[in-house]
Amino acid sequence: MQTDNRLFDDFVKFVNGAAGTFAGMAREGGESARERAKEWIGGLDFVSRDEFEVVKAMAVAARDEADALKLRIAALEAQLGAAPAAAKPAPKPKAPKKPQG
């Protein structure tokens, strides 16, 4: 048995419309928040993973080259028979003698 109640039908339509409106508002709010987050993060100076990997490889290559140059300098100093300057302590200046009198 179905009832033909116009008030009930109008209420159901109202609730369905309100639910659709709230769902749309939630979607728009989420999209807006996502867009603002992208703008905020884009304003920061982040680098991409690819750029990071390139700079990391450059740093490793520079470190390897520096290590190779240190070994080369040590070999050249050994050939000259001179100790590295950093290993020799600097001579201390002598204080002038006071005259006795």
Region 14-28: what's the mean pLDDT?
A: 90
> Higher pLDDT residue, 87 or 94?
94
Share of the chain above pLDDT 70, in %: 76
Q: Report the mean per-residue pLDDT for the chain.
A: 83
pLDDT digits (tens, 9 = 90+) for 34-63: 998 888 877 777 788 999 999 999 999 999
Residue carrying structure tokens 């300057």: 85
Per-residue confidence (pLDDT) for residue 1, from 0 to 100: 44
Helix (H) or strand (E) holding 57: helix 49-80
Residue 90 zone, left/alpha/beta (φ > 0; ψ -120 to 50; rest):
beta
Residues 95, 16: Cα–Cα separation, whole Å: 99
The domain locations on the chain are 1-46, 47-81
3-class secondary structure, 69 = helix
pLDDT at 56: 96
Tally Cβ neighbours within 10 Å of residue 77. Answer: 14
